[in-house]
Each structure stands twice: as C-alpha cells, then as structure tokens.
Amino acid sequence: MRARTEGQGIGISRRGVFLWMGALLLASLLLSVMVGSVPIKPQEAIQALVKGGAGSDDAVATIVRKIRLPRALLAGIVGACLSLAGLGFQAISRNPLADPSILGVSSGASFGLMVAMLLGVAGPTSNPAVTTLFAFAGALLAAALVYAIARVDGRLPMTTLLLSGVIVGLFFTSCVMLATVLLAAAELQGVIFWLMGNLGPASTGSLGVLAVVLGIGVAALFREAPRLNVLALGEEQALQLGVEAERVKRVVFVAASLITGAAISAAGSIGFVGLIVPHAARLLLGPDNRNLVPMSVLLGAAFLILADLGARTVAGATELPVGVITSFCGAPLFVYLLRRRRGTESW
Amino acid sequence: MSAIVVQDLTFQYRPGLGLDGVTFAVLPGELVGVVGPNTAGKSTLLRLLSKVLVPQRGRIQIAGRDVATTGRLALARQVAVVPQEFQVAFPFRVAEVVLMGRYPHTAGAAWGSRDHQIAWAAMETMGIGGLAGRSIDELSGGERQLVSIARALTQEPSILLLDEPTAHLDLRHQRTVLTTVLARRPEGRRTTVLVSHDLNLAAEHCDRLLLLVEGRVQAFGRPEEVMTSETLERAYGCAVEVERDPASGRPHLRSPLSQPGPLESNFLTPRM
C-alpha cells in the first residue's frame, strides 16, 4: 500500500519526477544563457559559468555572467516565489483557483511599491530590502481585505473569494494608476515597464534579498505542509484532528504575502504563475503538500525562465513583457479549471 | 468512571439558538443516540465535545480530563468525529485521506509502517480496501462517507462521535456502518455518540437516547423511556404513534400513513 500512496498516476516514482524536473530546471537555465541576440554554444556557456571566463573570450563571459545569468536567476527565483505563494493561498483557501494575481494580492504589492516610490525610498539606488518590505505590506493588506470580504460563516466559498479578489485587485490597480499620475515623467516609463512585468537587469543585492525571502517561504510552507494536507478536509475536521487551523493559516498567509511582495518588487506584476505551476505539480505528484512545496519551487523556476526566454525571442528583436506569456498560458487554464469544477461542486 | 461528563453546557450562537444548560454523562462503551428536531443543538453538541467550539458556560470532561485544558492533539487521540458532510478540497487518494487520521499520533512526522497497517485495517473494516488508490473525488457520496468513517477509525479513538453517518448511504453501505461501527458488542466497544434524525435507527441500536429540544435536554434514558408518543409529540409538535418492533422489542415509530384517517380516505384513495 505504501507504494500506491506515494507514486501518482503517471508511472514514474516520486524520486524520478523530482530528478526529471531538476534536470528541466538546469536545462532551461542553460538554454536561457545560450539564447539571445548573440548566440552562445553550450560548451562555451558552461565554460563561462563554471570557470568564470578563463579560457573563453571575454565578451562571451561578460554576456553570460553579467547579463544573462542574473536575469535567468531573477526569473527563476521570482517564478519559484510566485508558484509557492499560489500554492500557499490555494492550500489555506482550499481552492485551486487562488493565485496572487487572481486574488488581487499582486495589485496590493504593486500599490505598496508605488507608495515607496512616491515617498522616494524606491529607486535604482535604494535598498531592495526596503522596497520588498513596502510590497510585502501592500500584499498583506490586499490579502487581508480579500479574506475579510470573502468570508461567509467562517468559510471561503469559491464565488465570494474570486469576486472579492477581483474587487480588491481593481481597487489597488486604480490606486496604482493614481500614483502613476503623481509620479514625475522621468520615472514614468520605468514604472510602466515594471508594471507590465519586467525581468530586467537584476542587482546582486535584490537577488540576495529575493533568495532569502524565498528561503523563508519554503521553510514556512514545508514545515506546515502536513497540516496543510489535513486542512484539505476542512477547518472543522482539521481542528478535530488536532491541527491549530487558525495558526497554520496565519503563518502560511503571511509567508505567501511576503514572497508575493518580494517577487513583485523585484520583477513587477507577473500573472497566473501561482495558478499554473501548482496545478502542474499536482498533476505530476498528487496533492500532498510535502511534495508540492519543493516541486512548485523547481517547476516555478523552470517555468518563468522558459517564459522569459520566450518573451525575449518570439517577437524577434522586440522584447515582450514576460507577463504576456504567463497570462496567455494561465488564462485558458483558469477557464478550464473553473468549468471543470462547476460540474462537481455547487457554488 | 464515565467516558464523557457534560455539566451545564451552554453555547448560543444567538439567544435561543444553541445549547442551554445541558447535563448528561456517557458510560465507557455505551452507545448514546442524540435525537431531536432541527436546530435542537445536536451538531453544536458534537462541535463542543470535539473542541471546535468553546463553551460559554459549563464544562466537559472526557476520560476524566477537562476538555478546556486538554491540548487539541491530545484530545484528537481520544475523540474522533465523522462529520455530516465530508468534502476534501484536493483530489487526495483514499489511502492518503484515511492516513490523515494518524495525524494526532504522528503530529506531522512521516507515516510509519504501523500507521499504514492501522489505516489499511480501517479501510478493510469499512470494505473500501479496493478503493485505496482511487482519487477521493471519483467516489460516490456513499463511498466517501465510508472513507470518512475509516479515517475516524484510523485515529484509534476511545470515543467516536458520528453526525448522521447513514444519511446518504444506500442499504448495503448502511449495513456496513451499522455492523462495524454500531455493532451491539457490550464489551470492547468504543464509546459512541450518534447524532441522527432517524428515530427508529437510534432506538434500534442505541443503549440510551438523549432527546434535545431547543438546546435543552428534554429526556435522557433507555429508548423505551424516551420514545413514548407523549414525549415525542411534545418534542416535535406533531402527532406520533409508537409501537413495539416485534423482533427487537424496541420502540418503533408508526408511519402516519399507515393509519386510515379522514385525510387518507378523502384524498389518497382513488374514488371511482
């Protein structure tokens, strides 16, 4: 029986799935370093990554180490953050359609960041930890609002959750628009590009802050994973099984808002990643959160690296915002999940 | 010593709705049925016994310990609840859902081989061993209910609280529940509290019945003491006729349609 409870229905063992997805992540990382306006051969890319430029010519080393690798790392960490946040929101709302962008949490984080800009504490030279903190506060505020509005008799029904997510999202988007009017014209173009989702050049500092925040998020969610599983039985059953449901939800709620805030402040608003990736991870490994937490990190990183690669290449020399790619993947999936659920559940 | 002692238990959602000064005790191994009209507070009682709700007044002792000062995990090792509706949010497999019943014992650590054995035995008991690898959202409502009971048995509780366990079950699944969970074995049976709308089922299987009306205990005693037409008419506010089941000798409700009266002769018999 043990074997049957662990593997999911795709005919590969759990370890096999993790190995394959780990390989996918490495492959996408390598690919994103190789592909661009200056194509780089695989062995050159690996050499530049491993040996730090010695032996390969300097231009290649510079492109790889100074431009493409930081960008790929940023995409990877942001993808992991957004996926993990989606997984967390889904687990505590018991709803596979929850996602930072759908719940309006991303808009809240954007608003927090605009406030930081208006106060003059966000900018190219500012401390990434401070901007992250502002985005975190905005995300937390939006998430708290959504849950407060959606709550009916201590439960979070699907319809009210989605509707309040839309409302809160629209509200904070308006706040962001208001803030853009107040910003100086010089700052405006950067802001708009960032709002569309921008994985531009990343500083080592902001990568460091992101990595630390992701680490905190992974630790918090992995620790609570067994309790998140029990929470799938409903809050009342979770309490009756000895799970302090309120505490678990609070911890995951704050952690998910934190990683959303960090991702948004580093890369702007990138939608649907938190919806797509946990769904794919569930297809591969089943709904056990002890597997989904590490798998969402792996898959989320690989997905956004590849999406960014697509954004850089599909339109030739014109770079698309990566949020366009993720939305084109995510919106149809959302519709599919919504339609499928309507048949099985009254709401 | 009593398995459950409830004293002056009060919890009201708003004045007039909830429980008001309920007192009773359940003996170890006893099967007590909780019956009464809608909004009598039956499910509220189960929520209080399992510490989902905290009493506004009064206290509950389970196995000699005050529930208010017992930790949730410790309580969950004593008390398991089969809820009225069993909804699982994500498509977990049946075996995974049943194994969640081990949470109070492992507190989140990986399941050991003993946990798997206990879960497996519970699934066999409920006759769902063949469903172990199936996804929970592929099952019928009745099968899900059996999973829910297997999950509760996996908790290895000394006290089992059941909320309408047979309500959505067809005859065969009802039998499974009745013979495994409510079986009349005086020794070695776990203490069971059964909430049910089905008075005949409760009278047939329970050692004692607790009749709640508007949050208060109207009667508590053996089925033949509680199920009198007088008491039930007062509780439910409608005419009730009680007869004896010839096989078990226990009280049994007579269907209102089986007594010919003016209503039936006027409307239900076809007039030629």
Better-scored residue on pLDDT, B137 or A52:
B137
Q: What ipTM was estimated for this complex?
A: 0.90
- CA of A314 to nearest chain B CA: how many angstroms apart? 36
Both A57 and A158 in one domain: the answer is no
Q: Is the pLDDT of residue A327 over 60?
A: yes
Q: For residue A124, name the pLDDT band (cuts at 50, 70, 90).
A: low
> Residue A167's pLDDT is what?
94
Choose the mutation target among B79, B85, B94, B100 for the interface with A, i.e. most A CBs under 10 Å: B100
pLDDT winner (highest mean) among A118-127, B169-178, B199-208: B199-208
Q: In chain B, what percentage of residues exceed pLDDT 70?
A: 92
CB contact under 8 A, B87 and A234: yes
Scanning every residue of chain A, which has its alpha carbon at the shortest distance from the alpha carbon of B108? A226
Q: For residue B272, name the pLDDT band (cuts at 50, 70, 90).
A: very low
Average pLDDT over residues A305-324: 87
- CA of B67 to nearest chain A CA: how many angstroms apart? 13
* Segments forming the whole domain that contains residue B135: 87-157
Whether the Cβ atoms of residue B38 and residue B30 lie closer than 8 Å to each other: no
Average pLDDT over residues A228-256: 93
Least CB–CB distance from B90: residue in A96, A236, A244: A96
> Residue B262's pLDDT is what?
47
B267 in contact with A at a CB cutoff of 8 Å? no
- CA of A286 to nearest chain B CA: how many angstroms apart? 7
Task: State both tokens at B75.
Answer: 């309580």
Better-scored residue on pLDDT, A65 or B263:
A65
Both A259 and A213 in one domain: the answer is yes
Both A137 and A228 in one domain: the answer is yes
Last residue within a domain, chosen from A74, A106, A131 = A74
A219 in contact with B at a CB cutoff of 8 Å? no
Both A266 and A151 in one domain: the answer is yes
Both A107 and A247 in one domain: the answer is yes
Average pLDDT over residues B68-86: 94
Least CB–CB distance from A241: residue in B76, B91, B119: B76
Better-scored residue on pLDDT, B75 or A35:
B75
Q: Is the pLDDT of residue B218 over 50?
A: yes
Q: Is residue A16 part of a domain?
A: no
Count of structural domains within chain B: 1
Residues 6+ apart with CB under 8 A from A337: A96, A97, A275, A279
- CA of B242 to nearest chain A CA: how many angstroms apart? 37
Both A146 and A220 in one domain: the answer is yes
CB contact under 8 A, A241 and B107: no
Q: What is the DSSP string of B80-117?
A: EEE-S----SS--BHHHHHHGGGHHHHTTSPP-HHHHH
CB contact under 8 A, A234 and B76: no
Both A207 and A93 in one domain: the answer is yes
Both A145 and A232 in one domain: the answer is yes
Task: State both tokens at B73.
Answer: 């995990």
Both A69 and A95 in one domain: the answer is no
Average pLDDT, chain A: 86
> What sign for the dihedral angle of Cα A297, A298, A303, A308?
positive
Q: Is residue B202 part of a domain?
A: no
Q: Is residue A158 part of a domain?
A: yes
Both A256 and A291 in one domain: the answer is yes
Q: Is residue B6 part of a domain?
A: no
> Residue B7's pLDDT is what?
96
Q: Is the pLDDT of residue B160 over 50?
A: yes
CB contact under 8 A, B96 and A288: yes
Q: What is residue A15's DSSP assignment?
A: H
Scanning every residue of chain A, which has its alpha carbon at the shortest distance from the alpha carbon of B121? A1
CATH of the domain at A203: 1.10.3470.10
> Residue B264's pLDDT is what?
44
Least reliable range by pLDDT among A48-52, A159-163, B252-256: A48-52
A234 in contact with B at a CB cutoff of 8 Å? yes
Q: What is the pLDDT of residues B224-247, one digit of tens each?
A: 999 999 999 999 988 888 888 888
Provide, as residue numbers in chain A, all residues whose Cβ is less than 8 Å from the Cβ of B92: 229, 232, 286-288
Count of structural domains within chain A: 2
Provide, as residue numbers in chain B, all residues whose Cβ is less than 8 Å from the Cβ of A346: none
At residue A337's C-alpha, the angle toward residues A13 and A274, to 5°, is 70
Distance CA A211, CA A209 (A): 5
Least CB–CB distance from A240: residue in B52, B92, B93: B52
Q: Is residue B249 part of a domain?
A: no
* Segments forming the whole domain that contains residue A202: 86-344
CB contact under 8 A, B91 and A237: no
Q: What is the pLDDT of residues B170-189, one digit of tens each?
A: 888 888 888 888 765 555 67
> Residue A144's pLDDT is what?
92
Both A108 and A184 in one domain: the answer is yes
> Residue A345's pLDDT is what?
44
Q: Is residue B3 part of a domain?
A: no
